[in-house]
Structure 1
Amino acid sequence: MKIGPYQLNSQVMLAPMAGITDQPFRQLCCQLGAGLAVSEMMSSNPKVWNTDKSKQRMVHSKEAGIRSVQIAGSCPEEMAFAAKVNAQSGAQIIDINMGCPAKKVNKKLAGSALLKEPAQVEAIVKSVVQAVDIPVTLKIRTGWCENSRNGIEIAKIAQDNGIASLAVHGRTRNDFYKGHAEYDTIKAIKQAVSIPVVANGDITTVEKAEQVLNHTQADAIMIGRGAQGRPWFFREINHFLATGNKLKTPSLDEVRAILLAHVNELHQFYGDFKGVRFARKHVSWYIQTLSALNEGFSESFTEDQGKVFRAKFNGLETESEQLDALNLFLDSFTGL
């Protein structure tokens, strides 16, 4: 799949997730097989750009791979300006967020709330595309609610106004993340437009990845929650799609190396105080993954032990305490 001039080396992407797909996690997922990793959502409002969080999200030039930066907002002029600033800061692709279901975003007529306003969608897309000379992509949901699935209409607006590719989460805004994603609407969107379409939602196994690609005929798939605590999921999907065979479960030694390196990167990126806090949620997901891979490790490992460790880990306040605790915990298992 290509986005503008950029050839992706995999048809499996990392979805943008606020507070999760920061630079350390994006880099890790790309190293482990993601063809593209889209950044966390960044507000188009310049008044909030002076916060530490926004400043960290606006550093793109040091990243390896294709740099895709997601922006969110409701004002075409602000969105265009945000696109220009991020392009100047090293972004190679600008992604527009029209899929976020969060109330604090929607009440400002941003994110998926824009799906109720096709004219505003067109104004924003047109403004952003005209503002930069790099590809612009769009992420949407199937519609605002079950009775207003207008994904095809929005997709045609996107195509007619220069969007380079379209990612579709198979839920409406009112679904939030409840129930199950549906893929018939994504299939219909793919049939209605000629630009690349990316299918997103509930892809948590290699078999599901293949099924979604086959059913929707999408050009690529996008993984969100399925990659939390499991960044190697991308290479597993790539291998399965290429060979029809499953990769062997990663060894405990490899999981340890990935986990410890990730925690180190979080501390280096955020500093001690924030690094400790961001590490907590990622480590929690890794431990849950280890629980699911129980058959590969010590028979004594149980989900309850994982819960006990996570509670203890969440009380630690320094990088050294976190790393020591992780090493002691992982030492209690037998590698594959």
Structure 2
Amino acid sequence: MVKIGNIELPDFPLLLAPMEDVSDPPFRRLCKLHGADMMYSEFISSEGLIRDAMKSRQKLDIFDYERPIGIQIFGGDEEAMALSAKIVETVRPDIVDINYGCPVKKVVCKGAGAGVLKDVDLMVRLTKAVIKSTHLPVTVKTRLGWDEDSINIDEVAERLQDIGVQALTVHARTRAQMYKGHSDWTHIERVKNNPRITMPIFGNGDIDSPEKALEYKNRFGLDGMMIGRAAIGYPWIFNEIKHYFKTGEKLAPPTMEDRVEAARNHLTWSMDWKGEHIGIVEMRRHYTNYFKGIPGFKEYKQRLVTTNDADGLYKTLEEITEVFGSFQFVQQ
């Protein structure tokens, strides 16, 4: 069992990464259904929360069936981070998570996300401000360092633990790498093996198959792993990994019926949460991922991304089952 504050997670938990424009309640619900042990909201700007920006506030929506769930905030100002943690606490998540890993320019330029990797003293001050202003366990997600020449994850882990951070997730790339190149988990392994480190350490980056998940679990000896991009359009990955851990065998890939059902649920929950119009429009980015690699699918994809009414979309999804029902998917 892995503990974060008073939250008990199973041995070697699988976490769903906080992904901008992806990890919203409808998507999280699907991942929970398919085996994610803990999930995080999309990251939320501390300044946006304080300004009461509607998009930021909407990201605070969490539901009991998602628990345990963390809400992730980012920012570069101590006061704003402290105040936003107080706001986050009002919706009663299980965890407040701080993002020091987002490599995107508009975040880094504000001295937030991975931008804070250049100034560990600031990172410590920001984190302290959050810890002081909430009763919830505080966790952090970060990267190895700013670039290859400034990998500072060892110092970051020790200093964050010393001020009360209760778990650390490390994306095994530098900020300079963005999402390119290979992740290097040996740095996270070193942090985990540091005798001073007692908080749970989770790894993130490039986990895209049950085989790789098992290899990394055995090789690096971490407390669990976080899965991000591999779950987009493929929420089954969590249960597939768990099954492989237990049996050494791969589950059969989801059938066309499974995929259509997931897309239909995703659409329905999207409309329930965001309203019909926005739910339909924002769902468009997901269809390609559900129906990857199907020959002759172009016309249906076109319909899915241009149809503006729910009935028309449900009809198209039904038709996909009829037309492509016998298509054999190969294992990921």
SS at match of 2:93: coil
- The Cα of 1:8 is off from its aligned counterpart by 1.6
Deviating more after overlay: 1-10 vs 191-200 = 1-10
1:322 is matched with which residue? 313
SS at match of 2:250: coil
SS at match of 1:164: coil
Distance 1:44-1:306 versus aligned 2 partners, 3 A rule: same
Task: Identify unmatched segments of 5+ residues in structure 1.
Answer: 292-300
Pairwise CA RMSD? 1.6
Distance 2:25 2:315 in 1: 24
Deviating more after overlay: 42-51 vs 316-325 = 42-51
Query: Given the alignment, which residue of 9, 13, 19 partners 1:11?
Result: 13
Task: Identify unmatched segments of 5+ residues in structure 2.
Answer: none
- The Cα of 1:58 is off from its aligned counterpart by 1.5
1:297 is matched with which residue? none
C-alpha distance after superposition, 1:50-109 (max 9, x if no partner): 333222112235553212100000112211111111111121100000000000000000
Distance 1:51-1:307 versus aligned 2 partners, 3 A rule: farther
TM-score, length-scaled by structure 1 = 0.92
Deviating more after overlay: 313-322 vs 256-265 = 313-322
CA contact (8 A) 2:202 2:224 kept: yes
Distance 1:307 1:189 in 2: 47
Q: Residues 1-336 of structure 1: matches in 2 within 5 Å?
A: 1-9=2-10, 11-46=13-48, 49-60=51-62, 62-192=64-194, 193-288=197-292, 291=293, 301-302=294-295, 305-335=296-326
- The Cα of 1:219 is off from its aligned counterpart by 0.3
Distance 1:15 1:307 in 2: 30
- How many aligned positions are there? 323
- The Cα of 1:47 is off from its aligned counterpart by 6.1
TM-score, length-scaled by structure 2 = 0.93
Distance 1:307 1:2 in 2: 47
Deviating more after overlay: 68-77 vs 255-264 = 255-264
Distance 1:166 1:331 in 2: 46
- The Cα of 1:145 is off from its aligned counterpart by 0.6
Distance 2:233 2:309 in 1: 21
Distance 2:311 2:264 in 1: 11
